[in-house]
Amino acid sequence: MREENARAYWAANLKLIFTYLIIWFVVSYGCGILFVDALNNIQFFGFKLGFWFAQQGSIYVFLVLIWMYAFTMNKLDRKFDVHEE
């Protein structure tokens, strides 16, 4: 039972990491590098959108991802009863 619980906790963690890393990849490598020319045709305030993602947007998304991961994992820790005292 204990082992099964640990396995389920790990699977949930992996799923979370996988989801967040897809977003991480899309905003930096996707919007900032691979599709930057296409996105540059879109105006975002005074920025070309691709350029904005490369120099500003991706960093903001990184920040949100790390904080969301920390909060979600704290919840998961409790749900699977593996949290620290």
Partner 1 sequence: MDVQLLTYLFVGGSFALYIGIAIWSRASSTKDFYVAGGGVSPIANGAATAADWMSAASFISMAGIIAFSGYDASVYLMGWTGGYVLLAMLLAPYLRKFGKFTVPDFIGDRYYSNVARTVAVICVIFISFTYVAGQMRGVGIVFARFLEVDVNMGVVIGMAIVFFYAVLGGMKGITYTQVAQYCVLIFAFLVPAVFLSILMTGHVLPQTGFGATVLDAAGNDTGVYLLERLDGIVQDLGFGAYTEGQKSTIDVFFIAAALMCGTAGLPHVIVRFFTVPTVRDARISAGWALLFIALLYTTAPAVGAFARTNLIETVHQTEYEELPGWFYNWENSGLIGWVDKNDDGRVQMSAGAAFKGTPTFAGDRDEVTGSHGQRVVTNEVTDNDAEVYVDRDIIVLANPEIGNLPAWVIALVAAGGVAAALSTAAGLLLVISSAVSHDLLKKTLKPDISEKQELLAARLAAVVAILIAGYFGINPPGFVAQVVAFAFGLAAASFFPVILMGIFYKRMNKEGAIAGMAVGLAFTFSYIVYFKFVSPELNSAENWLFGVSPEGIGTVGMVLNFIVAFAVSRVTAPPPEHIQHIVEDIRVPRGAGGASAH
Of the candidate residues 8, 17, 22, 42, the single one contacting partner 1 (CB under 8 A): 17
Is 75 one of the binding residues for partner 1 (CB under 8 A)?
no
Comparing C-alpha atoms, which of 20, 5, 68 is closest to residue 28? 20
Would you mind telling me the total number of residues written for the chain in this entry? 85
Query: Contacts with partner 1 in 33-52 (CB under 8 A)?
Result: 33-34, 36-37, 40, 44-48, 51-52
Among 22, 67, 75, 79, binds partner 1 (CB under 8 A): 67
Measured CA to CA, the distance from residue 34 to residue 30 in angstroms comes to 5
**Rounded to whole angstroms, how far apart are CA atoms 85 and 18?**
28
CA separation for the pair 68, 40 (Å, rounded): 29
Residue ranges binding partner 1 (CB under 8 A):
6, 9-10, 13, 17, 20-21, 24, 28-29, 32-34, 36-37, 40, 44-48, 51-52, 54-56, 58-60, 62-63, 65-67, 69-70, 73-74, 77, 82-84
